[in-house]
A and B are shown apart, each in its own frame.
Chain A
Amino acid sequence: MRRRGLVLLWVAALLAVLLPPAQAQRVVVLKAWTIGPDNPSVTRYNNLVGAAERLNADLRREGAGLQVKVEGFFDTTNWDSYLRRVLLGFQSNEGPDIVQANGSLNATWAEGGFIIPLDGYIPQYKQFADVVPSLWDAMKYKGKIWAVPQDTEARPLYFNKVLLKQLGWTDAQIAALPDRMAKGDFTWDDVMATAREAVQKRVIEAGKGYYHRPVNGPDFIQWYRSFGGRIFDDATGKLVINKAALLRYYTWLRTGVDAGVIEKDRLNNDWNRFMQPVTDGKVLFFSGGTWQWAEWAQQWVNNKGGEEWLFANFGYGPHPTYVKGGKAITMSNPQAYFVSAKSANKDLAVRLLAYTTTPEFDAKHAVGSAHLPVLKTTARTINNKFLKEVSYLLNYTTFAPAHPDLSKWQDAVYRGLSAVESGQVAPQQGVDLVVSEMQRTIRDQVIVE
């Protein structure tokens, strides 16, 4: 009896020495909502999970007694439904802690009180110092920084090299095209003329001369700018709509439709009607984004040779301007991680974001989804052919202005564009409609010139 008791005591003592102290490990759940909608961008979510592992290792080392668990989703549907979920999530008590979305939403969401400014946190983490400075500027509104840049991209004008060759261009001419676009030597008129020629010579079908995105989006700002318009007045901080530039843009599109170069119903249909003809090699010029390169390589042309096929068939350059000698243009619409104002774990959330903003995860996302990296280190060390070739586009890039009514500006321009392109109204009428809608919804925050 006593012997058994002694044995038990020994065993207990042994266990007490050998087992690590039972620490009350609190698990903090961080809810993160992310979106592509392109499938390759799933790293936007996975990187957070990976960063959490690193963070947990450090937390264990620090003996903090807590671990972080990332829960949430990666949305592959579309921006409409995602943003609806996010906005409702901000207003409920079960909303997300971290939200990834367009950085340009910072103004609207800051005004709505949905997010917190991060200026206090940024100096605390050395990872943030590595971010390209212009991206921090893109996150600023009213002097404060509202989000952590997640990625950036450029939006080139792609062209189909094989079709140009069929049109009679030499290899040298094709190779020189991006440069000509950059220098302002190949303007929108030249694009139209080339496309017209291609339709007439039956190198392409009618309507496949120029493709642009089928739904609303940030890109329309860059095209409006490429026709000479400005969108933001630094002095007053108001939005601007330049009637002459808008008219030029709408007229160019309408001319294209009338000439059989652009499809009348190019807008308001689904992405498959953009991707399929483009990757079938049937479209001559198409405006897109660098991330589509990854989508095409991984999903659309993966059984035709993937990236090799793309390099052989597609070329890219910055978007031309409307006047010879003008400066070429592209647009970057950086994605960013926001922290919700209702989050109960703001400090931890920002720390997680710091762990995500490292070259390891940055490169993984950039290479995997053909977005551009946000860190200076990554940009220096990355070894991906496509990314290297398009990085010069950043010299021509522009950003969307930070203004809470920006989306109303964009909606008005998009509606006018839809009406003009589909033949509902003439370009001048379209411009008038846009102006009156802006004056009605944005009122005094828009300057009409």
Chain B
Amino acid sequence: MPLLPPRWRLTLIVLAALCVPIASGVVWLFLTGTFDRVHGLIPVRSPSLDNWRFLWQSVGGRPPVHVAIVNSLVFAVLVASLEVVIASMAAYAISRMSFPGRRLYLGFVLVLHAFPAVSLIIAIFYILRLLGLFDTLTGVILVKAALELPLGIWLMKGFFDTLSWEMEMAALVDGMSRWRLFWKVAMPLVRPGLLALGTFALLSAWGEFILPYTLIVSSQRTLMSSYLQTFLTEGYSDFGMVAAVGVVYALPVVAIFLVGQRYLLNIYGGGVKG
């Protein structure tokens, strides 16, 4: 609000209080990973490197952690790239081109946006098996990219809508093809949207749990989410080591978060100025 209310300091204190739970959670994770056990938020043992041994040896018959990390990286990067490219292409067409069925297509995408994709997981499992893509990274990448498409198209359409017509006209008159226009002129102009979508898709894919859990079974193709989860299910929970794994897993997220907050905050407000 443009005018700060007189008791804004009180508001700040309330906000700080609201932030305590989340902040303590993250702090707890880092402390437990380093100190093995904490009482509340107070470390009780000296820092031990033992918790981090999963980094250089296989723990309890699991695949080595670098397999999971590499798979997760490949997965996240490919999903984000596919997402950005495919969603932008579709959004550009819907936003900037006229073709029969345009309104229908847009309406369809908007319906899908609200549709709960996760309820389809049982059928997707069956379909991937039929396609021979079950238990492959390719399969999960395609599924994840597909399920994020409605959000991506909606977001990018908002950004494309804000581009001026004149500039496009000028380029077309000069003889540029639509395709080149898209890549050389339009895309660079919607960089904030691309960054928002790309960052969001990257993070969403990095953390994805239920899809790989259901659709991947071999340990060579395991992702970090499943790898961490194997520590949590049956058997002894070595809290210190699990926290260490959690720190390694969450670190890229926290890093991107600190660097790219701005982009993320754009994710639901695509195209809105101010």
Contact = CB atoms under 8 A, between A and B. Distances in A.
Consider the complex of A and B and state whether they touch directly, i.e. have CB atoms less than 8 Å apart: yes
B138 interface: no
Given A37-B235, A77-B233, A85 B217 contact: yes
B60 interface: yes
Interface in B214-264: 217-219, 229-230, 233-237
B63 A73 contact: yes
Given A84-B217, A88-B135, A74 B235 contact: no
Contacts of B229: 77
Nearest to B236: A299
B62 interface: yes
A73 to B, nearest CB: 5
B2 interface: no
Contacts of B217: 84-85, 88-89
A76 B60 CA distance: 8
Contacts of B218: 94
A89 B134 CA distance: 11
Contacts of A38: 234-235
B21 interface: no
B62 A76 contact: yes
Nearest to B237: A272
A78 B229 CA distance: 11
Contacts of A270: 233-234
Interface string B114-140: 000000000000000100001100000
B60 A39 contact: yes
Contacts of A275: 236
Interface in A261-287: 270-272, 275
A421 interface: no
Given A88-B134, A88-B135, A45 B61 contact: yes
B32 to A, nearest CB: 15
Interface residues on B, range: 10 to 19
A103 interface: no
| Residue from A34, A42, A92, A275 with most neighbouring chain B CB atoms (10 Å) | A92
Contacts of A76: 60-62, 230, 233-235
A39 B233 contact: no
Interface in B190-224: 213, 217-219
A299 B234 CA distance: 13
Nearest to A86: B217
Contact of B61 (A42, A78, A271): A42
A109 B230 CA distance: 26
A300 interface: yes
A295 interface: yes
A36 interface: yes
Contacts of B233: 37, 76-78, 81, 270
B212 to A, nearest CB: 12
A272 B235 CA distance: 8
Contact of A92 (B134, B219, B234): B134
Interface of A: 34, 36-39, 42, 45, 73-78, 81, 84-85, 88-89, 92, 94, 270-272, 275, 295, 299-300
Given A37-B235, A77-B229, 6 more contacts: A45-B61, A76-B60, A76-B235, A77-B233, A81-B213, A275-B236
27 contacts: A34-B61, A37-B233, A37-B235, A39-B235, A39-B236, A42-B61, A45-B61, A73-B61, A73-B62, A74-B60, A74-B61, A76-B233, A76-B235, A77-B229, A77-B230, A81-B233, A85-B217, A88-B134, A88-B135, A88-B217, A92-B134, A92-B135, A94-B218, A271-B234, A295-B235, A295-B236, A299-B236
